[in-house]
Amino acid sequence: MSNATVIYNEHVGGPFFRMALRWKGRGFRPGQFVMVRVSGALDPLLRRPFGIYDVLGGRKGIEILYKVVGRGTGMLSELDPGDRVDVLGPLGNGFPMVRDPGSLVMVAGGIGVAPFFWLAKGMAGKGRRPVLLYGARTKEEVRLVRPFRAVGVRVRVTTEDGSVGSRGLVTDLLDRELVEGRTVYACGPLGMLMAVSEAARRRGVKCLVSLERAMACGIGVCLGCAVKTRPHPQEQKHYSMVCSDGPVFASEEIDWDSF
């Protein structure tokens, strides 16, 4: 049942943990996710989805960065090195690679930063630096961007109260970065995604968003993680599955009114 072993499970501060899992997954793409079974018992019943934060050297496993918000993540935070869990994946489409790292504008809020690290790391030192615009609410959240700086990402932080970085919302920073030819990748709270999406649309900049939905299967069969989309402006709206059609969608495909 358990195909992965906890290598470490580090408390990053506040509700945040970084866990490394020895696990024989294959064929990862940045922005994909895994479904983790946190317990061998039947409660909690379903697997929990987590973005791939990093891929370990030699592809010996992965790291996830997670926030404790409920029972499943609570149980995860209590695991010790050597404990075993079951990992299913990699799942989902992921973010496409961009040619010019300097053209990439990552926008994240809170734990939404998780799926960007491996992507950002992969681009580091390959030409111009990508930028990460990060909206934080607590000092523990601010700490989550340190590894991005360490690999050479240009990081700009905002906090609502201005205690760290600039004061305001992440979208305030965005306007300056929305230059033609750039691409925005966004992950975070729904409100943020909508605002980012709208800003990008106004400026005619391409924008991809990574969505979240309650997931039962993670592999496109339960049809639970539906989101209303319109692949082409002329087409009829229909439901796409966040797990198998996403989690990354072109923002103009999303029927934002349906949320």
Partner 1 sequence: MGRTSFSMTASGKVALGVDIGGLKLKNPVMTASGTFGYGIEFSPYMDLNRLGAVVVKGLSLRPRDGNPAPRTIETPCGMLNAIGLQNVGVEAFIDEKLPLLRRFSTRVVANIFGETVREYSEVARRLDGARGVDAVEINISCPNVKKGGMVFGTDPVEASKVVRAVRKATGLHVMTKLSPNVTDIKVMVKAVQDAGTDSISLVNTITGMAVDVEARRAVLATTVGGLSGPAIRPVALRMVWEAAQVARVPIVGVGGIVTARDALEFIIAGATAVQVGTANFLEPDSAVKVIDGIEDYMKRHGIRDVNEIVGSLKTPGPRANPTGSAR
Ligand X SMILES: Cc1cc2nc3c(=O)[nH]c(=O)nc-3n(C[C@H](O)[C@H](O)[C@H](O)COP(=O)(O)OP(=O)(O)OC[C@H]3O[C@@H](n4cnc5c(N)ncnc54)[C@H](O)[C@@H]3O)c2cc1C
The interface with ligand X within residues 189-248 (CB under 6 A) comprises: 212-213, 215, 247
> To the nearest whole angstrom, how small is the minimum distance from the Cβ of residue 79 to a second copy?
11
Contact pattern from residue 219 through residue 258 relative to partner 1, giving x for each residue in contact according to CB under 8 A and a dash for the rest: xxxxxxxxxx---------xx------------------x
145 binds ligand X (CB under 6 A): no
Q: What are phi and psi of 172, to 5 degrees?
A: -65, -35
State the Cα–Cα distance between residues 29 and 190, nearest whole angstrom: 23
> To the nearest whole angstrom, how small is the minimum distance from the Cβ of residue 203 to ligand X?
27
225 binds ligand FES (CB under 6 A): yes
Q: What's the chain's Rg over C-alpha atoms? A: 18
For ligand FES, how many residues bind (rule: CB under 6 A)? 13
For partner 1, give the closer residue by CB, 154 or 213.
213
User: 220: alpha, beta or left, given left = phi > 0 and alpha = psi -120 to 50?
Assistant: left
Q: Which residues bind a second copy (CB under 8 A)?
A: 39, 41-44, 71, 75, 80
State the Cα–Cα distance between residues 199 and 173, nearest whole angstrom: 11
- Evaluate whether 249 touches 256 at the Cβ level (below 8 Å): no
Is the backbone peptide bond immediately before 44 cis, with ω within 30 degrees of 0? yes
Among 30, 72, 94, 188, which residue sits at the site for ligand X (rule: CB under 6 A)? 72
Is the backbone peptide bond immediately before 15 cis, with ω within 30 degrees of 0? no
List residues binding ligand X (CB under 6 A). 33, 44, 48-51, 64-67, 69-74, 111, 114, 212-213, 215, 247
